[in-house]
Structure 1
Amino acid sequence: MSNAALQSLLMQPDAADPVLAMQQARFNALMRDVALWRAALAEWTERLARYQQAIEPVRRELHAAWRQWVFALDDASLQTGLTRAERAQLGELLRESIAALLAVEDDAEIAAVARRHEEGPSSVPSRQQAETDGAPSDDEPLEDLAPEWERQAAAAAAQRAERAATRRADTVSKRGRQAAQDASQSLRDVYRRLASALHPDRERDARQRERKTELMQEANRAYAEGNLPALLELRLQAEQVDAAHLAAADRRRVQHYVTVLQEQLVDLQSETRRLEAEFRAAAGLAPGSGLQPRKADRIISSEIQRLRGELLLLRRQTRVLRDVEALKRWLREQRKP
């Protein structure tokens, strides 16, 4: 609603009727609050759409790069010239990366790599065990190794990783379902109130019955689209909150308008806060409220830069895995405290 349209709907308090004047003042305050929260809801709706459009393509690129990282680690673990300790280090990196990927989505190819790198408590001998058994020490290269630890079926560590991944995936799924359920409930409540106000069988006047039937058709479309602002706007139309009717409104009618606006304000605040919470969760921010939509723009830009930086680093590290000497140097750097 434009500022001019809002001003045209504000009531001039009736000095001759203090009770009516108080109701009219309350009506005016609620109209302003509703307009402010409508604008906030529109801004958060736009910011969430912008976040998805800007961030999701980069996240898909990063997810693909993580998959290539896992395959590159898998290939690197089979190279000759690596010590047992270095292979164990690669295996640990693999399992961590695999768990993170499988927490996001099921992936048959990644799961197959995970099965090849299952590790039990005794699958990688310690230095003392190796020397006692006459086996190569951790620092001796295993040139022609067909790694026994790749074939062992002691899956305790892999099972723990799978359970952790399942718990993380369940948490994300539950949050998504709860957000969808909250949005659906809010929308349904507004729709029900609107449907009650527009019920054509309650209208004796043929012209009004036709008007309400048309509004109900619009309400059905808005509900099907999940368009809460449109439903709220239709509610005001259904209640005939317009300049002509406001001018002739008595105490009872003004109080009814106040009740309708109070309901709308609660709905707008609830939906706006839900969208803010959804944005915070998507951006990895702490739960809370009061974040200004304009600040979300900076967060989106910062998140894109961070993801692109991670993507470039991951691609650079993936290239390092192809050269044994570079790989060994990189592994030594990772072991430094």
Structure 2
Amino acid sequence: MSHQFDLFNNETPATSEQTVNNSATALKLTTQDSQLTPSQQRFNRLLERIEKLKKQLLELQAISDAHRPLYHQAIAPLRERERLLTREMVLWLDERLQRKGLTPTQKRIATTILCGLSEQLAAQGDEEMQVLHDKHSTESLEQKEQASIKEIRTMMEDMLGESLTDEDSLETMQDVFNAGMARLREAEAEEKARRQARARKKKPTAAQLKAEAEQEEAETTLRKVFRQLASALHPDRENDPDERARKTALMSEANAAYDRRDLIALLQIQLRTELTDPASIAKMAEEKITSLTRLLKEQAQELEGELYHRRHAARHEFGLSSYETPSSTSLRRSLRREETLLKADIDAMQQDLQLIQDDKFFKRWLKDQIQPSNTVLLDEWIINTFR
């Protein structure tokens, strides 16, 4: 016999094991004697939305995990080959610049290409490339970094309208960026506090009072659901080792769900332990359904944000375009595209390295980089040809 009770009753019955559907839709409200109220319908729609979002997150994780080894197996060797060819080009340009036979313009173009390529390799930790860059450049990589740090600091200070302090380490661009963003967040928090202080001085509207009451009721609901579970599942009250272990696992699950404000997970644990069922939730007062719905809405918004950020991270990791939704099909298509481009770049680099051994071709090659008809600027050419 199951032990259902009012979710908002402070008394807690004994628990027993029950196997139920662990999906969010198992909590959907139904009623036999009348139609669902608008609040109950909203509750069910949010359950469906949350279930769909969780499924999308799991699917994204699964396809990313499955694609990752395939991606690195295909792309890593090509990028390493590209890196070695880029390095070979830098070393050849360094050697050629030490010999006679180039005009000042040709030397300038060759030096610009060398510095651009060696800077990329130095950023990957190649110390020899850093030495070669500084040998040919009028500005060392350290000087360039300091100039960039100064530039981003000025930009951050202009955004903030105040100077960044030197209390924290600001030795790298990332340090300056992090300090600026932290100060921006502090400024936003201060402005929010000021707005809230001004709002408190004003008489709240009926809508504001209603929203505050609903939020307070939602928080109370979440606490009550958790406390009921904590009381029913407290492992120290069990003498049987197996039952104590089971309750310890469930209590750990409930604690994690409460920390992330996951109402659905808490209700699912109640279903699994027969502390409630959808029928008892459906019989709750309208205001109680409203408070549960508010919590579900917050959870759905958080899941939508998490899905957005994970999709963005997947696009960045696997080279998808900003408009492409990560899927098995789009990831395979992107992998083929990136393989094709890398192989084409490698073929072009190998051909260039072979042909520039002929000094006449090398000079024509340099001249091609500054032709008016060439729509790609020299620095863009470096990035696109020797990525």
* Equivalent pair of 1:74/1:94 in contact (CA under 8 Å): yes
Who is 1:115 aligned against? 134
Give the CA deviation at 1:106.
3.5
Match of 2:379 in 1: none
1:262-319 Cα distance to aligned partner (Å, 9 max, x none): 343223211110012223445677767x846454543343233223322332233233
Q: 1:61 to 1:164 in 2, by over 3 A?
A: farther
User: Cα–Cα, structure 1 residues 98 and 255, in superposed 2: closer, same or farther, change >3 Å?
Assistant: same
Report if aligned partners of 2:39, 2:289 keep a CA contact under 8 Å in 1: yes
Amino acid at match of 2:125: D
Q: What amino acid maps onto 2:83 in structure 1?
A: H
TM-score (normalizing by structure 2): 0.53
Deviates more, 1:308-317 or 1:248-257: 248-257
* Within-5 A mapping of 1:96-245: 96-103=116-123, 105-119=124-138, 155=139, 159-160=143-144, 163-164=147-148, 170=173, 197=226, 202-203=231-232, 206=237, 211-217=246-252, 234-235=265-266, 237-240=268-271, 245=277
TM-score (norm 1): 0.60
Percent identity over the alignment? Answer: 21
Counterpart check, 1:14 vs 2:31: yes
The residue number in structure 2 matching 1:83 is 103
Distance 1:77 1:272, change over 3 A: same
The answer to whether residue 44 in structure 2 is matched with residue 45 in structure 1 is no
Name the CA distance, whole Å, in 2 between partners of 1:214 and 1:50. 29
> Whole-Å Cα distance in 1 between the matches of residues 298 and 110 of structure 2?
59
How many aligned positions are there?
272
Identify which of 306, 321, 333 aligns with 1:298: 333
Over the aligned positions, Cα root-mean-square deviation in angstroms equals 4.7
State the one-letter code of the partner of 1:86: Q
Distance in 2 of aligned mates of 1:11 and 1:199: 21
User: Which sits farther off after the overlay, 271-280 or 321-330?
Assistant: 321-330
Residue in structure 1 matched with residue 367 of structure 2 by the alignment: 332
The yes-or-no answer on 1:246 pairing with 2:262 is no
* 1:65-84 deviation line (CA, Å, top 9, x unaligned): 33333223222323444334
> Are the counterparts in 2 of residues 95 and 117 from structure 1 also a CA contact under 8 Å?
yes
Distance in 2 between the 1:74 and 1:302 partners?
Answer: 33
Cα distance between partner residues in 2 of 1:215 and 1:204: 7
The answer to whether the 8 Å contact 1:198/1:213 transfers is no
- Between the aligned partners of 1:286 and 1:171, the Cα distance in structure 2 is 26
Query: Aligned partners of 1:321, 1:173: CA distance in 2, in Å?
Result: 42
Gaps of 5+ in 1: 120-154, 179-192
User: CA 1:264/1:12 → structure 2, altered by over 3 Å: closer, same or farther?
Assistant: closer
Change (3 A) 1:219 1:16: closer
In structure 2, C-alpha distance between the alignment counterparts of 1:163 and 1:79, rounded to whole Å: 32
Alignment correspondent of 2:112: 92
C-alpha spacing 1:284/1:247, structure 2 compared with 1 (3 Å): same
Q: Which moved more, 1:46-55 or 1:24-33?
A: 46-55
Q: Provide the rounded CA distance (Å) in 1 between the counterparts of 2:150 and 2:337.
A: 30
Task: Give a deviation string over 1:171-213, Cα, whole Å, max 9, x none.
Answer: 79969xx9xxxxxxxxxxxxxx99x948975447646976452
Bigger drift between 71-80 and 107-116 goes to: 71-80
Deviations 1:11-30 (A, max 9, x none): 46326466x64444223212
